[in-house]
Amino acid sequence: MPARTAFATKLRARTPLIGTFVKLRDPSVIEMLGLCGFDFVVIDAEHAPFDRQALAIAVLAARAAGVAALVRVPEADGTWISAALDCGAAGILAPQVASAAMAEYLVRRVSYGSERGFSPSTAAAGYGTRGIENHLQSQPGETVLICQIEDRSAVALAAEIAAVTGVDGLLVGPVDLAVSEGLTNPSDPAIEALGVQVISAARSAGIAGGMFISDPAAITRWTACGASLFVLGSDQSFLMQSAQAGVAAARQRLSGGNS
């Protein structure tokens, strides 16, 4: 089963899934993350310098690694969504979804036959080998839409957003939630309480509830709340953490700390 179909099937069944953000444009990064065992990666076109060419290469790398690739688009604009899905992405992570109306708009942009242009010659369509009918029939089963909830007003409307047909999951953005509340700690109890509301809304609607986490230990707490989708850090954070630990260990030995 292709990675994007397997991912969509598991996401909709609320099977626990672990992914990470990709912010570095070197495609070998995605290949390495695939070898690490991640279920998916999120190519962060919102906060990292991915143009259309870099996006296509990143998704190609994900296909080579056998790992599903979501794309966090910088805008709800149909151009970005179409480009990501035509490249063969497994779905869209839409930031700052603030209402059911916006979710409905995103569903139309993700789906053929409404506000998304169709081509049977894209990478997603096997460069024409699928044929029009086969690609139209296959696309719904391999393409997901996850809405990111990132401020208090969106939290209040999370149940309405989750109830929109075609929305497959809600992902809590705790850092944006904290900043929107004038805080700097995404683990603040007030922010975690908002996150619980979002996960509860997703669970009640029968869709996946997701959480961005920096510490794997947090999975236990959020799984107990009903979350099944986890975005663990990013390629940048893994690089920084490993490099910092390595340098610190080396300097300790140079100073004779473990001699």
Catalytic residue numbers read 47
Tokens encoding 206: 């029968």
Tokens encoding 39: 């279920």
CB neighbour class for 97 (10 Å; exposed up to 12, middle 13-18, buried from 19):
buried
Report DSSP letters for 209-255, one per residue: EEEEESSTTHHHHHHHHT--EEEEEEHHHHHHHHHHHHHHHHHHHHT
Q: How far apart are CA 44 and CA 25, in angstroms?
A: 10
Select from 229, 237, 210, 219 the least CA-distant residue to 97. 210
Q: How far apart are CA 230 and CA 130, in angstroms?
A: 32
